[in-house]
């Protein structure tokens, strides 16, 4: 693989207090690809994802060993600034979490507090178009974001992340709270976003991983069992455990 | 047979609850009726615009009314910023350890402390130690101590009830902690904080004991011109009139109560109005 690497974990182990939840995970995330992380509940996929933008920093018992390399630097170095990292590595959460403000303010708040000085109107329009939400909301940008449907709210959250012009967008089961048609729209969107952003998506839905991702990592009880091209993982996995999981024998 | 038994229980329960509510409302209405009947005749512009006097027909509540407005205004200015800042610190910044837990327990204790003790504290610290004398400062600072724990507890609750997902969403956009608190958490918590402020200031408005303790006089024949002037307040004036033997003064006291109630209602209505305005995106 001579693709460019956007994010790389080197021997990452994570514990909450005495409990180790991730063991010695090393993987490389290629840029402009969709990388899916799958595995049964509690296998540590969300925990791993949240280390990529240091969202685990808020959990007092969290501790990590190993390195996560982004743009040539370990983001867990004492000198690195989580605020700056999160500007470049955006995140979309499991449940849509728009701010209780207008649609417009939801989009421009992030850029504004980080010193964006360009045209906010144009920025909002561009972000909403990229998130395939513009047509539905262009006449009511000043309405409350909470009036949108769940699927629209999630696309708004994606637009909010896009407005920061990040390099990577992390998605933590972004469709688990949505109905099938809203899920389909988000999946189409994710496939398009790949051209401009690197996407890492955690999902408990194997079909979803198979549909939208280029690479798939299979985590089981904190171990990275297998990582490779999605098509191969789903058709000819190397490991017995991967095969058992994707064929539904457990999980 | 069992069914009818349970139905009867249901009925009994409903009537107990309904009776309790009716009793409370009835007592309140009786009081209100009594006060209005006794005080209404005394309510006129002259009553609102006169200083206290030994002659009931010339007495008014001008100094008490303006004293109350002054002292509550000052109390609000002192206590609101202090208590919101403390609540933010306790909820968003303070480490969750034993020391902080004891601070929280003691906050609850302070909120339940009898107000006369705050009066004694105010007398010792503000009146004597800081030599503020019987000024509006002493009264307002003492009342601020009294309402501080109440507002802090309400504000803490309001801040805590802001969903964690809002904070996470903000942090994920690269926001600093102060930006998360100032732009996302506080605006969402404001309605709850306002409710706490309304309740606390209404309580302060009716407090008599601590003000008497720090020397709010009942005979003040001038208006305060600044926070260093001596003052009186509505509940102090009402207490003074009610304690006199002459029936006319009881009427004046009832009139004062009506004015105090109106002031409270105005304050609450204003606060509710502001709260609704701030709650536009819900």
SS3 of chain B: the string is CHHHHHHHHHHHHHHHHHHHHHHHHHHHHHHHHHHHHHHHHHCCHHHHCCCCCCCHHHCCCHHHHHHHHHHHHHHHHHHHHHHHHHHHHHHHHCCCCHHHHHHHHHHHHHHCCCHHHHHHHHHHHHHHHCCCCCEHHHHHHHHHHHHHHHHHHHHHHHHHCCCHHHHHHHHCCCCCHHHHHHHHHHHHHHHHHHHHHHHHHHHHHHCCHHHHHCCCCCCCCCCCCCCCCECCCHHHHHHHHHCCCCHHHHHHHHHHHHHHHHHHHHHHHHHHHHHHHHCCCC
Q: Is B157 on the interface with A (CB under 8 A)?
A: no
Same domain? B79 vs B132: yes
Q: Is residue B33 scored above 50 in pLDDT?
A: yes
Q: What are the tens digits of pLDDT across the range A24-80? A: 999 999 999 999 999 998 889 999 999 999 999 988 899 999 999 999 999 999 999
Contacts of B94 in chain A (CB under 8 A): none
Domain ranges, residue A94: 5-246
CA distance B32 to chain A (A): 41
Q: By the 8 A CB rule, do A174 and A154 touch?
A: yes
Same domain? B27 vs B125: no
- Domain at B197, CATH number: 1.10.3720.10
Q: What are the tens digits of pLDDT across the range A70-129? A: 999 999 999 999 999 999 999 999 999 999 999 999 999 999 999 998 999 999 999 999
| Per-residue model confidence (pLDDT) at position B282 | 52
Q: Most B CBs within 10 Å: which of A49, A95, A110, A157, as the mutation test of the B interface?
A: A110
- Domain at A87, CATH number: 3.40.50.300
| Per-residue model confidence (pLDDT) at position A32 | 94
Contacts of B179 in chain A (CB under 8 A): 113
Q: Is residue B55 scored above 90 in pLDDT?
A: no
Indicate the number of domains in chain A: 1
| Per-residue model confidence (pLDDT) at position A2 | 46
Subunit contact B173:A160, Cβ cutoff 8 A: yes
Same domain? B201 vs B142: yes
Minimum Cα–Cα distance from A146: chain B residue? B282
Report percent pLDDT > 70 for chain B: 98
Would you place residue B275 in the very low, low, confident or very high pLDDT band (cuts 50, 70, 90)?
confident
Q: What are the tens digits of pLDDT across the range A204-232? A: 889 999 999 999 999 999 999 999 999 99
Same domain? B90 vs B133: yes
Distance CA B138, CA B133 (A): 7
pTM for the predicted model, two decimal places? 0.85
**Phi and psi for A180 in degrees, rounded to 5?**
-60, -40
| Per-residue model confidence (pLDDT) at position B221 | 82
SS3 A247: coil
Q: Which residues does A112 contact at the CB level (< 8 Å), separation at least 6?
A: A120
Q: Is B172 on the interface with A (CB under 8 A)?
A: yes
Same domain? B34 vs B101: no
- Residue B58's H or E segment, with its range, is none
Q: Which of B169, B176, B179 is the closest to A99 by Cβ?
A: B169
Q: What are the tens digits of pLDDT across the range B7-23? A: 888 899 999 999 999 99
Domain ranges, residue B20: 2-42
| Per-residue model confidence (pLDDT) at position B56 | 84
Q: Is residue A1 scored above 60 in pLDDT?
A: no
Same domain? B31 vs B164: no
Same domain? B165 vs B201: yes
Would you place residue B1 in the very low, low, confident or very high pLDDT band (cuts 50, 70, 90)?
low
Same domain? B146 vs B209: yes
Same domain? B107 vs B244: yes
Would you place residue A251 in the very low, low, confident or very high pLDDT band (cuts 50, 70, 90)?
low
Q: Is A246 on the interface with B (CB under 8 A)?
A: no
pLDDT (average), residues B216-240: 87
Same domain? B138 vs B262: yes
Give the number of other CB atoms < 10 A from CB of residue B197: 25
Q: What are the tens digits of pLDDT across the range B172-204? A: 999 999 999 999 999 999 989 998 999 899 999
Same domain? B111 vs B215: yes
Same domain? B66 vs B28: no
**Phi and psi for B262 in degrees, rounded to 5?**
-60, -45
CA distance B176 to chain A (A): 7
Do the domain assignments include residue A251? no
| Packing angle, helices B62-88 and B234-242, rounded to 10 | 130
Do the domain assignments include residue A58? yes
Do the domain assignments include residue A102? yes
Indicate the number of domains in chain B: 2
**Phi and psi for B5 in degrees, rounded to 5?**
-60, -45
């Amino acid at each position: 693989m001579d693709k460019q690497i956007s994010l790389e974990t080197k021997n990452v182990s994570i514990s909450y207090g005495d409990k180790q939840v991730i063991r010695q995970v090393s993987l490389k995330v290629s840029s402009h690809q969709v990388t899916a992380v799958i595995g049964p509940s509690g296998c540590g996929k969300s925990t791993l994802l949240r280390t990529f933008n240091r969202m685990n920093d808020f959990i007092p018992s969290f501790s990590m060993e190993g390195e996560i390399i982004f743009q040539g630097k370990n983001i867990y170095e004492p000198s690195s600034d989580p605020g700056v990292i999160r500007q470049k590595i955006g995140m979309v959460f499991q449940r849509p979490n728009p701010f209780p403000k207008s649609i417009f303010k939801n989009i421009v708040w992030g850029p504004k507090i980080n010193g964006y000085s360009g045209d906010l109107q144009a920025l909002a329009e561009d972000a909403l178009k990229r998130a395939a939400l513009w047509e539905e909301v262009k006449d009511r940008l000043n309405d409350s974001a909470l009036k949108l449907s769940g699927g629209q709210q999630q696309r708004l959250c994606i637009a909010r992340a896009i407005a920061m012009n990040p390099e990577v967008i992390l998605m933590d089961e972004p469709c688990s709270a949505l109905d099938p048609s809203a899920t389909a729209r988000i999946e189409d969107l994710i496939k398009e976003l790949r051209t401009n952003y690197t996407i890492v998506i955690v999902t408990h839905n194997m079909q979803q991983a198979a549909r939208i991702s280029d690479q798939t990592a299979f985590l089981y009880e904190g171990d990275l069992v297998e990582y490779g091209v999605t098509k191969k993982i789903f058709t000819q996995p190397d490991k017995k455990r991967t095969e058992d999981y994707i064929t539904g024998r457990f999980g | 047979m069992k069914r009818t038994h349970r139905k009867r229980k249901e009925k009994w329960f409903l009537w107990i609850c309904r009776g309790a509510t009716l009793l409370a409302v009835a007592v309140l209405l009786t009081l209100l009726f009594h006060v209005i009947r006794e005080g209404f005749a005394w309510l006129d512009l002259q009553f609102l615009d006169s200083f206290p006097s030994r002659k009931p027909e010339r007495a008014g509540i001008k100094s008490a009314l303006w004293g109350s407005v002054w002292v509550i205004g000052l109390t609000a200015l002192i206590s609101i910023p202090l208590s919101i800042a403390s609540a933010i610190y306790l909820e968003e910044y303070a480490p969750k350890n034993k020391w902080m837990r004891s601070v929280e327990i003691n906050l609850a204790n302070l909120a339940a402390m009898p107000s006369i003790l705050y009066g004694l504290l105010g007398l010792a610290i503000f009146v004597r130690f800081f030599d503020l004398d019987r000024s509006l400062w002493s009264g307002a600072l003492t009342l601020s101590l009294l309402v501080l724990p109440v507002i802090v507890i309400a504000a803490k609750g309001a801040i805590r009830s802001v969903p964690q997902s809002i904070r996470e969403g903000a942090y994920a956009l690269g926001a600093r902690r102060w930006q998360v608190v100032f732009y996302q958490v506080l605006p969402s918590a404001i309605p709850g904080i306002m409710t706490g402020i309304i309740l606390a200031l209404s309580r302060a408005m009716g407090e008599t004991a601590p003000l008497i303790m720090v020397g709010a006089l009942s005979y003040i024949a001038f208006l305060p011109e600044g926070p260093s002037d001596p003052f009186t307040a509505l509940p102090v004036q009402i207490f003074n009139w009610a304690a006199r033997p002459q029936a006319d003064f009881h009427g004046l006291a009832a009139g004062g109560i009506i004015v105090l109630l109106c002031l409270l209602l105005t304050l609450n209505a204003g606060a509710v109005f502001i709260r609704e305005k701030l709650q536009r995106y819900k």
